[in-house]
Structure 1
């Protein structure tokens, strides 16, 4: 599991991104359980995620409407399957409007770049 914390900050909201190998929905649930063992991630406002696995495309917005699809599009663009990406947001008290989608996309791109250098 690769976790990158405090990758983006805007109007009090903070973002982190995590990911790792993941084959299906059951593995995604276990990945999220492991991530949430860290109390900071358990208390986060949103842990949105996506994966292209054996069961096809899976995503979950976790209350951040549309975030899962943004993550999924980035994974599809990179043709990355068998890998989950989770974008975590701690809400800072001010609504970000459409900027939240830009931040989710940027967080995924930061993760993908870090993953490449880690390999």
Structure 2
């Protein structure tokens, strides 16, 4: 699993983005378990994710309402299928309002750029 940590910081909240090839909701669940084996990710406030696979689009906001849909839209726009992307947030004590969506988008963008560099 590719993990890019400490990529965004805003008003105390910190973000990371992770991802891996993934073909189903069951594989996504297993990858999330693996990610959360790291204590830092297990203690995160939100691990929001999206995946477009043969079964269709699958997402989980993990309490960060709307974050999964933002991830799905970006995956669809890029045409990236069978690849899980997880955006992790550690809440910093202050509400971010709509900026949280901008941060999710930026995190996914950073991940997609890292994939492009490696291909």
Unaligned runs of 5+ residues in structure 2 are: none
Q: How many residues get paired? A: 119
Runs of 4 or more above 6 Å deviation: none
1:66 lines up with 2:66 in the alignment = yes
1:86 lines up with 2:89 in the alignment = no
CA deviations 1:42-61 (Å, max 9, x no partner) are: 00000000000121000000
TM-score (norm 2): 0.99
Displacement of 1:118: 2.0
Unaligned runs of 5+ residues in structure 1 are: none
1:38 lines up with 2:44 in the alignment = no
TM-score (norm 1): 0.99
Aligned-CA RMSD value = 0.5
